[in-house]
Amino acid sequence: MTTLSQNGSLLAGSLRRRRLPKALPPLLGVAALGVSAAGILGTGAGGWVLTVVVAAVLFVLATLIVSGAVEGGRRARDRVATIAVYGAFILALIPLGSVVATLLAKGTGRIDAEFFYHSMNNITALDSGGGAYHAIIGTLQQVGIAAVLAIPLGLAAAVYIVEYGRGRLTTVIRFFVDVMTGIPSIVAGLFVLAFWVLIVTPVFNHGRPGYSGFAAALALTVLMLPTIVRSAEEMLRLVPQALREGSYALGVPKWKTIMRVVLPTAAPGIVTGVMLSIARAAGETAPVLLVAGGTPAINFNPFSGNQESLSYFVYEQAGAASQFAPGRAWTAALTLIAIVAILTIAAKLLARRSTIGR
């Protein structure tokens, strides 16, 4: 027993000692970057992008060789896999960081009171003034109406599929949700144009078709529904069956179990799916172009008259041949992202607060 314990202690000590110093991987990275810069930038063979790529390859090879010699092949492969994961994460962040940096650099030039409190009424693309107040109002109303319509319908469909659906109707619902997921936004706009604008509105508008923000909201509802249904369905399936069975054992009806146990448990994931659908709807241009028409004036009535949105405002200003239009387009794009970010953070905080409260 003494011999076995001594051998175990020696093996454990050997395993603990066979580790690279914590400072060595960063030094290998610095050395790889230095060698790459000297070989590429020093000779003029390429720029910083090629330098970083070559440095990354050299760093992986050096880590594999050094770690394999000191720690063994298994630990070396583990380090290489860790580097690959972190590298993929950094690569995924580069486009996002580039977009955010570009928006902040170009979108802050027109952040002033005039931009947020004035419209483009009686202002041409060649004028330096004007703002996106009318577009902000249109976006909030259209997305708000679409959310009021799509969220209850989407959640009801998801609850039926998970909690009640066992027959052919469930298969049909899933099929149409899958089909709607791949529908382009312009097709949704054409559907609302053909049905609501050209058939329904003439009945209430003395025979004349009418554009409106509500028509745009209907098109956005069509786009939001599949995302809400799919995300809510997956979140509801993740709720442990034991929670449902415990509620049933206490004599709680099924509908109340769904309302008081299942939905609150899945709320954080459902909120994420809802905010994804809202972000997509807020950035759509084609439906607004087809059924809302756009207008440079302020229209607080989403049920009558043309209405603008921030995405359509960006589209108009980006295509205008003016030195002032691009600044308005970039600021409108930054405003749109800020609105979506604020709504997402607020929804997450509310969902977290309700979860903590339970």
Task: Please write down the HEC assignment for all residues of 110-130.
Answer: CCCHHHHHCCCCCCCCCCCCC
Same domain, 78 and 137: no
Quote the CA–CA distance of 306 and 214 in Å, as a whole number. Answer: 10
DSSP reduced 3-state for 199: helix
- The count of other CB atoms within 10 Å of the CB of residue 208 is 8
Q: How many CB atoms lie within 10 A of CB 128?
A: 12
Residues 137 and 42 in one domain: no
The pLDDT tens digits of the residues spanning 120-165 come to 998 887 888 889 999 999 999 999 999 999 999 999 999 999 998 8
Residues 335, 231 share a domain: yes
Tokens representing residue 324 in the block: 């002032």
Domains identified in the chain, total number: 2
Per-residue confidence (pLDDT) for residue 17, from 0 to 100: 53
122 occurs within a structural domain: yes
User: In whole angstroms, what is the distance from residue 34 CA to residue 18 CA?
Assistant: 27
Task: Output the pLDDT for position 45.
Answer: 78
pLDDT at residue 147 in the model: 95
Q: Do residues 104 and 111 lie in contact, with contact meaning Cβ atoms separated by under 8 Å?
A: no
291 shares its domain with 276: yes
What are the two backbone dihedrals, phi and then psi, of residue 307, each rounded to the nearest 5 degrees? -145, 145
The domain boundary residue, chosen from 109, 139, 170: 109
Residue 132: DSSP 8-state = -
Among the three residues 46, 81, 109, which one is the final residue of a domain in this structure?
A: 109
| Domain assignment of residue 132, given as a range | 115-353
Looking at the fold, whether 58 and 156 belong to one and the same domain comes out as no
Tell how far CA 61 is from the center of its chain.
36
Q: Is residue 1 part of a domain?
A: no
Per-residue pLDDT, 115: 92
Residues ≥6 apart with Cβ < 8 Å to 346: none
Asked if residue 358 belongs to a domain, the reply is no
**Same-domain pairing of 105 and 142:** no
**Which parts of the chain register pLDDT below 50?**
1, 10-11, 14-15, 356
The rounded distance, in Å, linking the Cα atoms of 127 and 114 is: 13
Residue 327 lies in a domain: yes
Does 7 fall in a domain?
no
User: Alpha helices, DSSP H only, in the chain?
Assistant: 2-17, 24-40, 48-70, 73-107, 113-117, 133-159, 168-181, 185-192, 201-204, 213-237, 241-249, 254-257, 263-282, 286-287, 310-318, 325-357
Alpha carbons 241 and 38: distance in angstroms, whole number: 61
pLDDT for 3: 54
The answer to whether residue 160 is domain-embedded is yes
Q: Which residue has the tokens 């206490």?
A: 250
- Same domain flag for 196 and 225: yes
- Beta-bridge partner residues of 130: none
Helix (H) or strand (E) run with residue 1 in it: none
Q: Establish if 314 belongs to a structural domain.
A: yes
Do 147 and 75 fall within a single domain?
A: no
Of 72, 94, 109, which closes a domain?
109
Same-domain pairing of 43 and 156? no
214-264 pLDDT, tens per residue? Answer: 999 999 999 999 999 999 999 999 999 999 999 999 999 999 999 999 999
The answer on 127 and 95 residing in a single domain is no
180/251 Cα distance (integer angstroms) = 39
- Residue 214: count other Cβ atoms within 10 Å of its Cβ: 23
190, 219 contact by CB (below 8 A)? no
What is the rounded CA–CA span in Å between residue 223 and residue 281?
7
Q: Model pTM?
A: 0.81
Residues 142 and 212 in one domain: yes
In a domain, 342, yes or no: yes
Same domain assignment for residues 246 and 329: yes
CATH number, domain with residue 300: 1.10.3720.10
